[in-house]
Amino acid sequence: MRDLLSVDRDANKIRLLRSTYSGTFVLVEGDSDKTFYNRFVDELACKLIVVSGKPSSKQRVIEVLEILEKSNFQGILAIVDADFDRLETSTFSSPNLLRIDTHDLETMLISSPALNKVIAEFGSEEKITKFNLDVRSVLLETGRSVGYLLWISRCSQLNLTFDGIKFSKLIDEKTLQIDELKLIQELKNKSQAYSLKDEELQQQLKIKKSKNHDPWQVCCGHHLVEILSFGLRGVLGTNKATDVEPNSLERNLRLAYEEIYFFETQLYSDIRTWETNNHPFRVLPNNI
Protein backbone atom coordinates (compact mmCIF):
# COMPACT_ATOMS: atom_id res chain seq x y z
CA MET A 1 0.00 0.00 0.00
CA ARG A 2 2.83 2.39 0.87
CA ASP A 3 4.48 1.77 -2.52
CA LEU A 4 1.20 2.51 -4.33
CA LEU A 5 0.83 5.77 -2.43
CA SER A 6 4.42 6.61 -3.23
CA VAL A 7 3.90 6.04 -6.97
CA ASP A 8 0.80 8.25 -6.88
CA ARG A 9 2.84 10.86 -5.04
CA ASP A 10 5.48 10.80 -7.80
CA ALA A 11 2.77 11.25 -10.44
CA ASN A 12 1.15 14.10 -8.50
CA LYS A 13 4.48 15.93 -8.21
CA ILE A 14 4.72 15.96 -12.00
CA ARG A 15 1.13 17.17 -12.30
CA LEU A 16 1.98 20.06 -9.95
CA LEU A 17 5.06 20.90 -12.00
CA ARG A 18 2.88 21.18 -15.08
CA SER A 19 1.23 24.29 -13.60
CA THR A 20 4.51 26.18 -13.94
CA TYR A 21 6.24 24.31 -16.77
CA SER A 22 4.87 23.65 -20.25
CA GLY A 23 7.73 21.55 -21.66
CA THR A 24 8.39 17.81 -21.84
CA PHE A 25 8.89 15.65 -18.77
CA VAL A 26 11.26 12.71 -19.29
CA LEU A 27 11.25 10.01 -16.61
CA VAL A 28 14.55 8.17 -16.02
CA GLU A 29 15.67 5.50 -13.58
CA GLY A 30 18.51 7.11 -11.64
CA ASP A 31 20.86 10.01 -11.08
CA SER A 32 23.55 8.59 -13.38
CA ASP A 33 20.95 8.32 -16.16
CA LYS A 34 19.95 11.93 -15.59
CA THR A 35 23.60 13.04 -15.68
CA PHE A 36 24.12 11.16 -18.94
CA TYR A 37 21.01 12.41 -20.77
CA ASN A 38 21.53 15.98 -19.57
CA ARG A 39 24.33 16.21 -22.14
CA PHE A 40 21.97 15.60 -25.04
CA VAL A 41 18.57 17.09 -24.17
CA ASP A 42 17.40 20.66 -24.64
CA GLU A 43 17.21 21.83 -21.03
CA LEU A 44 14.80 24.66 -21.92
CA ALA A 45 12.34 22.32 -23.64
CA CYS A 46 12.67 19.27 -21.41
CA LYS A 47 12.95 18.35 -17.72
CA LEU A 48 14.55 15.07 -16.64
CA ILE A 49 12.79 13.53 -13.64
CA VAL A 50 14.44 10.73 -11.64
CA VAL A 51 11.99 8.10 -10.39
CA SER A 52 13.48 5.55 -8.02
CA GLY A 53 12.26 3.08 -5.43
CA LYS A 54 11.07 -0.49 -4.90
CA PRO A 55 10.66 -3.07 -6.35
CA SER A 56 12.87 -1.44 -8.99
CA SER A 57 13.39 2.02 -10.40
CA LYS A 58 12.38 0.81 -13.85
CA GLN A 59 9.11 -0.60 -12.56
CA ARG A 60 8.41 2.65 -10.73
CA VAL A 61 9.07 4.69 -13.88
CA ILE A 62 6.59 2.53 -15.81
CA GLU A 63 3.96 2.74 -13.05
CA VAL A 64 4.22 6.54 -12.89
CA LEU A 65 3.97 6.71 -16.68
CA GLU A 66 0.86 4.51 -16.67
CA ILE A 67 -0.85 6.69 -14.06
CA LEU A 68 -0.16 9.86 -16.02
CA GLU A 69 -1.23 8.29 -19.33
CA LYS A 70 -4.56 7.21 -17.82
CA SER A 71 -5.27 10.84 -16.95
CA ASN A 72 -4.36 11.89 -20.53
CA PHE A 73 -1.31 13.82 -19.33
CA GLN A 74 0.48 15.33 -22.34
CA GLY A 75 4.21 15.72 -22.94
CA ILE A 76 5.38 12.76 -20.86
CA LEU A 77 8.12 10.36 -22.00
CA ALA A 78 10.00 7.60 -20.15
CA ILE A 79 13.42 6.17 -21.04
CA VAL A 80 14.40 2.92 -19.33
CA ASP A 81 16.93 0.12 -19.59
CA ALA A 82 15.91 -2.70 -21.90
CA ASP A 83 17.08 -5.35 -19.41
CA PHE A 84 15.74 -8.64 -20.80
CA ASP A 85 12.61 -7.09 -22.34
CA ARG A 86 13.61 -7.78 -25.95
CA LEU A 87 14.17 -11.45 -25.09
CA GLU A 88 10.75 -11.83 -23.49
CA THR A 89 7.25 -11.59 -24.94
CA SER A 90 5.15 -10.11 -22.12
CA THR A 91 6.55 -6.60 -21.61
CA PHE A 92 4.73 -3.32 -21.12
CA SER A 93 4.50 -1.27 -24.29
CA SER A 94 3.58 2.37 -24.82
CA PRO A 95 4.45 5.01 -27.44
CA ASN A 96 5.65 7.09 -24.48
CA LEU A 97 8.07 4.42 -23.24
CA LEU A 98 11.45 4.08 -24.93
CA ARG A 99 14.07 1.46 -24.17
CA ILE A 100 17.84 1.80 -24.55
CA ASP A 101 19.30 -0.07 -27.56
CA THR A 102 21.14 -2.58 -25.37
CA HIS A 103 20.54 -4.21 -21.98
CA ASP A 104 21.32 -1.02 -20.05
CA LEU A 105 23.14 2.30 -20.20
CA GLU A 106 26.53 0.75 -19.39
CA THR A 107 26.30 -1.79 -22.21
CA MET A 108 25.36 1.04 -24.59
CA LEU A 109 28.57 2.81 -23.54
CA ILE A 110 30.67 -0.35 -23.92
CA SER A 111 29.20 -1.10 -27.35
CA SER A 112 30.32 2.34 -28.54
CA PRO A 113 33.81 3.69 -29.38
CA ALA A 114 33.89 5.06 -25.82
CA LEU A 115 35.29 1.67 -24.77
CA ASN A 116 38.17 2.03 -27.25
CA LYS A 117 39.07 5.36 -25.65
CA VAL A 118 39.06 3.89 -22.14
CA ILE A 119 41.17 0.92 -23.28
CA ALA A 120 43.63 3.32 -24.93
CA GLU A 121 43.92 5.22 -21.64
CA PHE A 122 44.13 2.33 -19.18
CA GLY A 123 45.00 -0.76 -21.24
CA SER A 124 48.33 -2.15 -22.38
CA GLU A 125 48.51 -2.47 -26.16
CA GLU A 126 51.47 -4.82 -25.76
CA LYS A 127 49.54 -7.20 -23.50
CA ILE A 128 46.34 -7.10 -25.56
CA THR A 129 48.31 -7.84 -28.73
CA LYS A 130 50.34 -10.57 -27.06
CA PHE A 131 47.27 -12.47 -25.94
CA ASN A 132 45.41 -11.66 -29.19
CA LEU A 133 42.35 -10.41 -27.34
CA ASP A 134 39.35 -8.61 -28.80
CA VAL A 135 38.40 -6.87 -25.57
CA ARG A 136 34.76 -6.23 -26.42
CA SER A 137 34.18 -9.85 -27.55
CA VAL A 138 35.90 -11.25 -24.46
CA LEU A 139 33.79 -9.08 -22.16
CA LEU A 140 30.59 -10.21 -23.87
CA GLU A 141 31.50 -13.90 -23.79
CA THR A 142 32.36 -13.80 -20.10
CA GLY A 143 29.46 -11.54 -19.16
CA ARG A 144 27.00 -13.70 -21.09
CA SER A 145 27.21 -16.48 -18.50
CA VAL A 146 26.45 -14.05 -15.68
CA GLY A 147 23.65 -12.39 -17.64
CA TYR A 148 21.95 -15.66 -18.46
CA LEU A 149 22.05 -16.75 -14.81
CA LEU A 150 20.53 -13.41 -13.82
CA TRP A 151 17.77 -13.99 -16.38
CA ILE A 152 17.24 -17.55 -15.14
CA SER A 153 17.04 -16.29 -11.57
CA ARG A 154 14.38 -13.72 -12.51
CA CYS A 155 12.32 -16.07 -14.67
CA SER A 156 12.34 -18.83 -12.04
CA GLN A 157 12.13 -16.42 -9.08
CA LEU A 158 15.27 -17.88 -7.51
CA ASN A 159 16.17 -14.52 -5.91
CA LEU A 160 19.89 -15.07 -6.41
CA THR A 161 22.14 -12.25 -5.22
CA PHE A 162 24.45 -10.85 -7.89
CA ASP A 163 25.71 -7.75 -6.09
CA GLY A 164 29.31 -7.99 -4.93
CA ILE A 165 30.33 -11.02 -7.01
CA LYS A 166 34.08 -11.57 -6.59
CA PHE A 167 34.99 -11.99 -10.25
CA SER A 168 38.66 -12.33 -9.33
CA LYS A 169 37.81 -15.74 -7.83
CA LEU A 170 35.95 -16.91 -10.91
CA ILE A 171 37.87 -15.65 -13.95
CA ASP A 172 41.07 -16.92 -15.53
CA GLU A 173 43.50 -14.01 -15.29
CA LYS A 174 45.08 -14.75 -18.69
CA THR A 175 41.99 -15.42 -20.83
CA LEU A 176 39.23 -13.70 -18.82
CA GLN A 177 37.14 -16.84 -19.27
CA ILE A 178 34.78 -17.54 -16.38
CA ASP A 179 34.41 -20.81 -14.48
CA GLU A 180 30.64 -21.30 -14.67
CA LEU A 181 30.48 -23.90 -11.90
CA LYS A 182 32.39 -21.62 -9.53
CA LEU A 183 30.05 -18.77 -10.54
CA ILE A 184 26.99 -20.87 -9.72
CA GLN A 185 28.47 -21.88 -6.36
CA GLU A 186 29.37 -18.25 -5.59
CA LEU A 187 25.80 -17.15 -6.33
CA LYS A 188 24.34 -19.94 -4.20
CA ASN A 189 26.60 -19.08 -1.27
CA LYS A 190 25.91 -15.34 -1.48
CA SER A 191 22.18 -16.03 -1.71
CA GLN A 192 22.16 -18.81 0.88
CA ALA A 193 20.33 -20.87 -1.75
CA TYR A 194 22.00 -24.13 -0.83
CA SER A 195 19.05 -26.29 -1.92
CA LEU A 196 19.58 -25.39 -5.58
CA LYS A 197 21.35 -28.10 -7.57
CA ASP A 198 24.54 -27.14 -9.40
CA GLU A 199 23.74 -29.57 -12.21
CA GLU A 200 20.26 -28.15 -12.78
CA LEU A 201 21.55 -24.58 -13.00
CA GLN A 202 24.34 -25.69 -15.32
CA GLN A 203 21.79 -27.38 -17.58
CA GLN A 204 19.52 -24.31 -17.63
CA LEU A 205 22.53 -22.14 -18.46
CA LYS A 206 23.56 -24.51 -21.27
CA ILE A 207 20.05 -24.36 -22.77
CA LYS A 208 19.99 -20.56 -22.64
CA LYS A 209 23.42 -20.25 -24.24
CA SER A 210 22.39 -22.59 -27.07
CA LYS A 211 19.75 -20.06 -28.16
CA ASN A 212 22.42 -17.59 -29.32
CA HIS A 213 20.58 -14.49 -28.17
CA ASP A 214 22.09 -11.09 -28.88
CA PRO A 215 24.71 -10.75 -26.11
CA TRP A 216 24.07 -6.99 -25.93
CA GLN A 217 20.58 -7.85 -24.67
CA VAL A 218 21.82 -10.55 -22.27
CA CYS A 219 24.85 -8.96 -20.60
CA CYS A 220 24.49 -6.57 -17.69
CA GLY A 221 26.72 -3.53 -18.08
CA HIS A 222 27.77 -3.40 -14.44
CA HIS A 223 29.08 -6.96 -14.72
CA LEU A 224 31.00 -6.12 -17.89
CA VAL A 225 32.61 -3.15 -16.15
CA GLU A 226 33.58 -5.36 -13.20
CA ILE A 227 35.19 -7.85 -15.60
CA LEU A 228 36.95 -5.01 -17.43
CA SER A 229 38.24 -3.67 -14.11
CA PHE A 230 39.71 -7.08 -13.30
CA GLY A 231 41.26 -7.38 -16.75
CA LEU A 232 42.89 -3.95 -16.63
CA ARG A 233 44.77 -5.09 -13.53
CA GLY A 234 46.25 -8.09 -15.36
CA VAL A 235 45.86 -9.41 -18.88
CA LEU A 236 44.69 -6.06 -20.32
CA GLY A 237 46.85 -3.66 -18.32
CA THR A 238 49.07 -2.95 -15.36
CA ASN A 239 46.80 -0.77 -13.24
CA LYS A 240 46.28 -0.72 -9.50
CA ALA A 241 42.79 -1.71 -8.36
CA THR A 242 42.14 1.83 -7.11
CA ASP A 243 42.93 3.30 -10.54
CA VAL A 244 40.38 1.19 -12.41
CA GLU A 245 37.70 0.52 -9.84
CA PRO A 246 34.28 -0.05 -11.49
CA ASN A 247 32.55 3.21 -10.51
CA SER A 248 35.52 5.17 -11.85
CA LEU A 249 35.52 3.17 -15.09
CA GLU A 250 31.80 3.83 -15.59
CA ARG A 251 32.44 7.56 -15.14
CA ASN A 252 35.26 7.41 -17.67
CA LEU A 253 33.04 5.59 -20.15
CA ARG A 254 30.35 8.26 -19.79
CA LEU A 255 32.92 11.02 -20.28
CA ALA A 256 34.37 9.26 -23.34
CA TYR A 257 30.93 8.92 -24.93
CA GLU A 258 30.55 11.57 -27.64
CA GLU A 259 27.41 13.14 -29.09
CA ILE A 260 28.03 11.51 -32.45
CA TYR A 261 27.73 8.07 -30.85
CA PHE A 262 24.32 8.99 -29.44
CA PHE A 263 23.09 10.26 -32.82
CA GLU A 264 23.74 6.80 -34.27
CA THR A 265 21.54 4.94 -31.75
CA GLN A 266 18.02 3.68 -32.26
CA LEU A 267 17.11 5.52 -29.06
CA TYR A 268 17.98 8.83 -30.72
CA SER A 269 15.77 7.94 -33.71
CA ASP A 270 12.95 6.87 -31.38
CA ILE A 271 13.11 10.18 -29.50
CA ARG A 272 12.90 12.09 -32.79
CA THR A 273 9.87 10.00 -33.79
CA TRP A 274 8.23 10.71 -30.43
CA GLU A 275 8.80 14.45 -30.96
CA THR A 276 7.17 14.26 -34.39
CA ASN A 277 4.13 12.49 -32.92
CA ASN A 278 3.87 14.80 -29.89
CA HIS A 279 4.25 18.29 -31.34
CA PRO A 280 4.94 20.86 -29.88
CA PHE A 281 6.78 18.90 -27.15
CA ARG A 282 10.51 18.45 -27.66
CA VAL A 283 13.37 16.59 -25.98
CA LEU A 284 16.43 17.24 -28.13
CA PRO A 285 17.83 20.52 -29.47
CA ASN A 286 16.67 21.39 -32.98
CA ASN A 287 20.23 21.86 -34.22
CA ILE A 288 21.39 18.25 -33.72
**In this structure, which amino acid lies at residue 52?**
S
pLDDT above 70 covers a percentage of the chain that reads 98
148 and 87, same domain (yes or no) = no
127 and 77, same domain (yes or no) = no
Task: Tell me the three state secondary structure of residue 48.
Answer: strand
252 and 122, same domain (yes or no) = yes
Q: With 90 as the cut, is the pLDDT of residue 106 above it? A: yes
Q: Going along the chain, which residue ranges are E strands?
A: 24-28, 46-50, 76-80, 97-99
196 and 180, same domain (yes or no) = yes
Residue 282 placed within a domain: no
Residue 53 gets the label, from left (phi > 0), alpha (psi -120 to 50) or beta, of left
**Alpha carbons 8 and 252: distance in angstroms, whole number:** 36
**DSSP-derived secondary structure letter, 168:** G
- pLDDT (tens digit, 9 = 90+) per residue, 220-237? 999 999 999 999 999 999
- pLDDT (tens digit, 9 = 90+) per residue, 3-51? 556 899 999 999 999 999 999 999 999 999 999 999 999 999 999 999 9
Task: Tell me the three state secondary structure of residue 97.
Answer: strand
**Alpha carbons 61 and 78: distance in angstroms, whole number:** 7
Residue 132 gets the label, from left (phi > 0), alpha (psi -120 to 50) or beta, of left
Angle 243-181-134 (CA atoms, 0-180°, nearest 5)?
Answer: 45
What pTM does this model have? 0.93
Q: What is the pLDDT of residue 53?
A: 81
What number is the average pLDDT over the span 189-217?
96
Residue 263 · residue 284 · CB < 8 Å? no
Confidence of residue 2 (pLDDT cuts 50, 70, 90): very low
Domain that includes residue 69, residue range: 2-101+265-277
Q: What is the pLDDT of residue 1?
A: 42
Residue 164 placed within a domain: yes
Distances (CA, A) of 241 to 122, 156, 224: 12, 35, 16
189 and 272, same domain (yes or no) = no
68 and 166, same domain (yes or no) = no
77 and 190, same domain (yes or no) = no
129 and 237, same domain (yes or no) = yes
State the total domains in the chain: 2
- pLDDT (tens digit, 9 = 90+) per residue, 117-127? 999 999 999 99
Residue 285 placed within a domain: no
CA 110 and chain centroid, separation = 10
Residue 284 placed within a domain: no
- φ, ψ of residue 61 to 5 degrees: the values are -55, -45
